[in-house]
Structure 1
Amino acid sequence: MAVILAAGRATRFGTTKQVAELQGRPMVGHVVATALASSLVEQVLVVVGHDAGVVSAAVAGSGPVEVVDNPVHATGQASSVRAGVAAARRRGASAVVVLLADEPDVTAQAVDAVVGAVRDGAPASRARYEDGPGHPVAFAARVFDRLLGLDGDRGARDLLAELGAVAVPVPGPRPRDLDRPEDLAERDHR
């Protein structure tokens, strides 16, 4: 099951970046499409918080996508991970792959690679690009309790290290976060 983190305030962007248009569709829509294109993802959970109605509307009708509300999103990214993992657990997920709504250039192949490593027995895995580690990351159900104990704005970075996450090789450079309007404009002109 994919968990897309789309609850943030996006202060550097100046507006709700999750719905900023990128090639005719909202940025979060690209991430949803990537998750759905994966051969190992059957359902997508999109965690919303800031401007929840706007972000929810942007993913409506995208297929097997469910919106999960994070009422405490302002406390940091870990709260969105907790909300997504709790929802995935309630739905009986054997693993989750976590994607960020502001990284539309992650590929379905990268999703398949990290999910495959977890299905092969790793407690956690993370994409390893030519220039370093990045998203997506995946976790087996047996570590969901650890994810539910996260707090702050660092997400699962420290937990990945503690679990000895498998680094899964993914070709190409690490996908960039599109944190500012200039990042989006630059990406559009590549």
Structure 2
Amino acid sequence: MKIVGVYLAAGNSTRMGTHKLALPIGTMSLGSLALETALKSPLDEVYVIIKDTDDMEWIPSHMKAHAKCSIIQCPTSNEGLSESLRYGIQHAREHLADGVLVMLADQPFITVQMLSEMITCMSEKPPCKFVATTSEQAITPPVLFSSSMYPDLLKLHGDKGARAILQSDFLQQGTFLNCNDKRLVFDIDTREDYETLKVLE
């Protein structure tokens, strides 16, 4: 079973007021933390979806050169979150991936164990259409989708993310893995979030 990661890193950082993925966290950049996790995980490939204006300085050179890593520019990223997601899904479909693990570049505390458990869960339940993370009873990234859901994901438009699909009848066709540690799914949107992150690291 070929499972690839779609690493969404094409956001506008509007609420942060600066390119948040380039913000320093220790010796690394914010955006490189979860990417390092993805590259260390059992994922077969990782597609990093960026804006076509991104200078990519936030991505360390050894990650860019990693055998699993593919950098994909999304020229229509300004049209909404779904654009970069669909770019990743299309790439996965063209490369015959059996599933796509959707990750956010601003969730720095995602762990290899979390990703491994999701991949194992899907491989052990072939009819399963998705494996979603939940925290405090809410669905949150990362989410793993089987290839059977590519057509539905490719229909998303605007600022709708993959989570939008999981509000419908599909809820009964997947598996939910609860994350007891809310810190692991913490995402960084604002300056306050960033200051909190620096305390948590």
Q: Same fold (TM over 0.5)?
A: yes
Does residue 1:8 correspond to 2:11, yes or no? yes
One of 152, 171, 178 as aligned partner of 1:146: 152
Shift of 1:182: 2.6
CA RMSD of aligned residues (A): 1.8
Q: Using the alignment, how far apart are the partners of 2:194 and 2:164 within structure 1?
A: 29
Number of matched residues? 188
Aligned pairs (5 A) from 1:71-86? 71-86=75-90
Q: Deviations over 1:63-119 (max 9, x none)?
A: 221111111101111111100111111222111101101111111222122223332
Distance 1:23 1:161 in 2: 37
Deviating beyond 4 angstroms after TM superposition, the runs of 4 or more aligned structure 1 residues are none
For 1:20, give the aligned amino acid.
L
Cα distance, 1:131 vs structure 2:
5.7
Residue 87 (structure 1) aligns with:
91
Q: 1:131 to 1:80 in 2, by over 3 A?
A: same
Deviation at 1:133, TM superposition (A): 2.6
Amino acid at match of 1:2: G
Q: What secondary structure does 1:160 align onto?
A: helix
Query: Could you tell me how far 1:159 is from its partner in structure 2?
Result: 0.9
Q: C-alpha deviations, 1:113-164, integer Å up to 9, x for none?
A: 2223332221012112356332110100111111111112121122123322
State whether residues 100 and 147 of structure 2, in contact with CA within 8 Å, keep that contact through their aligned partners in structure 1. Answer: yes
Q: Are the structure 2 counterparts of residues 127 and 30 from structure 1 closer, same or farther at C-alpha, using a change threshold of 3 Å? A: same
Unaligned runs of 5+ in 1: none
1:33-67 residue CA offsets vs partner (Å, 9 max, x unmatched)? 111222x3121110001642236x62542122111
Secondary structure of 1:97's aligned partner:
strand
Does the alignment pair 1:35 with 2:38?
Answer: yes
Query: What's the counterpart of residue 49 of structure 2?
Result: 47
Identical columns (%): 27
Q: Indicate the residue corresponding to 1:187 in structure 2.
A: 197
Q: In structure 2, list runs of 5 or more residues that go unmatched.
A: none
Contact 2:51–2:73 (8 Å) recurs in 1: yes
